[in-house]
Structure 1
């Protein structure tokens, strides 16, 4: 591929950022739509989690395959096909008449989204050959990603205040049309000139492994480790991933170069990427529920309340490259994770009454932390491979992102639900049917209270709100401890990483870090 002019490069970047905003907007608007969606379709608490989770699970399971498809068939072609399919699937999601069909439609969205995410980063890797310019481009890509996360709640909140819940998915359609037009004009086509054969067993093993493990984690948090389905999914998922790993070491043309994971720096970057998103998306998920169910805010008010996190993340993403060059990649990633952990810790003091100042402090810390760590880890991952394999490397980065988001919702959401049920103390005189509904979730508790006498209803609402806030406090404490541990670990796993990676000499997994020029000290 011939080098693009500066104007063409940045115009192409704009179309890529617009494309990835589809994925982010779809994920964030769903959080605000859950209350009205729950009222309309009456899903169970498990179905609510699946509505939120299945999109990320399917997307994560297919990213490796989709990244290789872009390397093989052309990244622009795969991107445009994915954007078209995503828009059409959004129509089906918006008009889903039942929880089961909504879950199915969200799964199809995940399939389409898997073709978009790795294509954007891999194209950036190919058109921005200067390492400083590439880091800036990824910072812009990250900032637009977080801006899309901010636009989702705002657009979704405005729509939900005036229209039915399905309208939040229709906003994908005009964005899809705009992406198709801009990308078709500005994007160059690129592919691996010698991709080798596509290994179908590897494709199947990667899908089964990723989805199996994530399903097991989600269900373990909700039903416990002893559940038969959890154990079966865990065994199948882990076995598939082990078989996938071993197969990649024997293939001449593997889906991913697993040798990269032998390097502590590469593994640390992927892990840091996943944990940063875990903290951000998981926190936004349960704070959206808190603001609507406990504080009684409208979806639009909740969306506006989350805007500071996205603004802080955008500013941090734009500054991340410069800070990494000044302080080292290890310090910036560790600092970002540490700030995210502090943001979660702040929520331990969340009161039942109001509490937005506490929420605001938490969102600002987590937003800055995610912006710093995500930008630097994404650049680190895609800089480790030649341009011809950029799709596969991007798939690894995006898999970490999507798994982090899915785990944030699944683990923190399931932990939150379990703690809510354990701490809920219902008033005497409540019927068994109402009590069962109240214990299922705070959403069903408020629905049950609406049919009760005023005094008893007020007691149920107060009990549910108190239990939910207490669950938020404990969940934040546990999640913050996990992120803090990874922040400390990042200082060791990422030390010695070059501040700038030469585009013509990507990091070789067999080369010790100290032999590279420009390594962090």
Structure 2
């Protein structure tokens, strides 16, 4: 490559700007999990119904997932930095409203507004990185840092929430967002240059509506299957969403100025990277929820201690990100992504051997190994998505990557959670002492949490055997879910390596230029 085409390396200003962009990425993912710790306090003060409690937890992710593509496309047109600043204002104001909510309805509305702000922030940060770092190695490092922040935020959320709730009102888990958004509003105009699509065209309003209609029913159906089991209404919701996906794709092929170029999916590097990214999020989301429940319920750790024990998982992601950033200079993307997915699968297989008598360190070691593979794969997959998409469509491409991650997370929780629950129920049937009655048996057979609640009210001679059976049943479900996840991740690793076998770093550089 001649010197005329050698990319200009980023300087101190760009790296300082990168540090600023990491903060909203961290917060956007952290807010998905920060309420795990605050839920009991919110329930005590606002007294939400069961349905309202679910909406308080879920609506943030629903709105965020539904608007990612639309917000990414708008950012390409009006300017990604401008969109970032708009999102910071919306996220900050919504955080204040959430913190001082006086009713469940008010908190639900505030969480929805937080989802709007997050959908604006997340694709803006990643697409700005695409324009700030023209050198391939620097960009990969920057994307790795962003990936570590975005994936680590989910694990950090409960830890931050636990620390705040020990000393402050539950609203503090939202107020922590405000100073960071103020910092972003002050520093972003100074450190980050504006970028946008030079050939904007008119905004595809119909395409935006179709993208929302495609994403929301699928996410809703998957999440509700986790909560209520497989049902006709939930499957129907998913089917409707898939139908709108097809309509959205047709619209993008015919629109004069499409939101995304769906022909990108014909490129192996793009489509395989999207699938690989969704798969690793599938892994972490699905196993993360099961692992935290296992630590708290079966191993008996409190919520805050359980969150602290999960910190090595964040370190695993950082290690994977570092390995991917260094290795990509010398090794083909296909091999690195395959290795990342294989490492993640090995973590699954390790966890599949955990039992009720296992030390928590053994579980965390296996889970950390899983996250090492996640860090490797997510970094390379995101880098490939941004590299193969045209620079002027960086916002839309970022949104597609993050939307696939949302789908992967929802599907992981649904699939592995439902599988583990099914194994638990089948193992518990007939194992509950008859003295506990039909209602006690039904609660204990439904979930391990239900079994713990029944045991707390039961005589000691019945509580001990019940908990022993319940913990063993949950462990078996946990093991089978981990084994299933490992096989799936390994299979995707093989397919990804085949799809990407001809892609080299040099070819990616040629695509970019």
**Structure 2 gap segments, 5+ residues each:** 1-7
Match of 2:452 in 1: 446
Q: Which one of 287, 306, 311 corresponds to residue 307 of structure 1? A: 311
- Cα-to-partner distance string for 1:183-232 (whole Å, 9 max, x where unaligned): 2432222212321111111111111111222333344455555x331232
Match of 1:263 in 2: 267
Q: Are 1:337 and 2:338 matched, yes or no?
A: no
Q: Are 1:90 and 2:95 matched, yes or no?
A: yes
Q: TM-score if structure 1 supplies the norm length?
A: 0.88
CA apart distance, 1:5: 6.5
Q: Which one of 464, 467, 470 corresponds to residue 473 of structure 2? A: 467
CA apart distance, 1:396: 1.1
Match of 2:255 in 1: 251
- Cα-to-partner distance string for 1:436-468 (whole Å, 9 max, x where unaligned): 433443334333433343443444433332322
Say if 1:265 and 1:495, in contact at 8 Å, map to a contact too. Answer: no
Say if 2:17 and 2:192, in contact at 8 Å, map to a contact too. Answer: yes
Say if 2:213 and 2:241, in contact at 8 Å, map to a contact too. Answer: yes
Match of 2:372 in 1: 368
Match of 1:430, SS? helix
**Aligned pair in 2 of structure 1 residues 498, 4: CA closer, same or farther (>3 Å)?**
closer
- Paired with 2:105 and 2:473, the residues of 1 have a C-alpha distance of 29
Q: Which one of 423, 426, 432 corresponds to residue 427 of structure 2? A: 423
**Structure 1 gap segments, 5+ residues each:** 508-521
- Paired with 1:354 and 1:47, the residues of 2 have a C-alpha distance of 37
Q: Which one of 484, 495, 498 corresponds to residue 489 of structure 1? A: 495
Say if 1:22 and 1:176, in contact at 8 Å, map to a contact too. Answer: no
- Paired with 2:288 and 2:108, the residues of 1 have a C-alpha distance of 21
- Paired with 1:441 and 1:45, the residues of 2 have a C-alpha distance of 17
CA apart distance, 1:427: 2.0
Match of 2:258, SS? coil
List aligned pairs for 1:77-156, cutoff 5 A: 77-94=82-99, 105-156=110-161
- Paired with 2:48 and 2:418, the residues of 1 have a C-alpha distance of 16
Say if 2:155 and 2:314, in contact at 8 Å, map to a contact too. Answer: yes
Q: Are 1:62 and 2:52 matched, yes or no?
A: no
CA apart distance, 1:117: 0.8
Say if 2:298 and 2:471, in contact at 8 Å, map to a contact too. Answer: yes
Q: Which one of 2, 5, 19 corresponds to residue 24 of structure 2? A: 19
Between 280-289 and 95-104, report the one with greater CA deviation. Answer: 95-104
Q: Are 1:355 and 2:359 matched, yes or no?
A: yes
**Aligned pair in 2 of structure 1 residues 331, 351: CA closer, same or farther (>3 Å)?**
same
Q: How many residues are paired up?
A: 504
Match of 1:116, SS? helix
CA apart distance, 1:140: 2.0
Q: TM-score if structure 2 supplies the norm length?
A: 0.89
Q: Are 1:199 and 2:204 matched, yes or no?
A: yes
Say if 1:160 and 1:299, in contact at 8 Å, map to a contact too. Answer: no
**Aligned pair in 2 of structure 1 residues 216, 152: CA closer, same or farther (>3 Å)?**
closer
Match of 2:402, SS? helix
Q: Which one of 207, 214, 218 corresponds to residue 209 of structure 1? A: 214
Say if 1:221 and 1:415, in contact at 8 Å, map to a contact too. Answer: no
**Aligned pair in 2 of structure 1 residues 49, 352: CA closer, same or farther (>3 Å)?**
farther
CA apart distance, 1:147: 4.6
Between 27-36 and 257-266, report the one with greater CA deviation. Answer: 27-36
Match of 2:244 in 1: 240
CA RMSD between the two structures: 2.9
Match of 1:477 in 2: 483
Match of 2:296, SS? helix
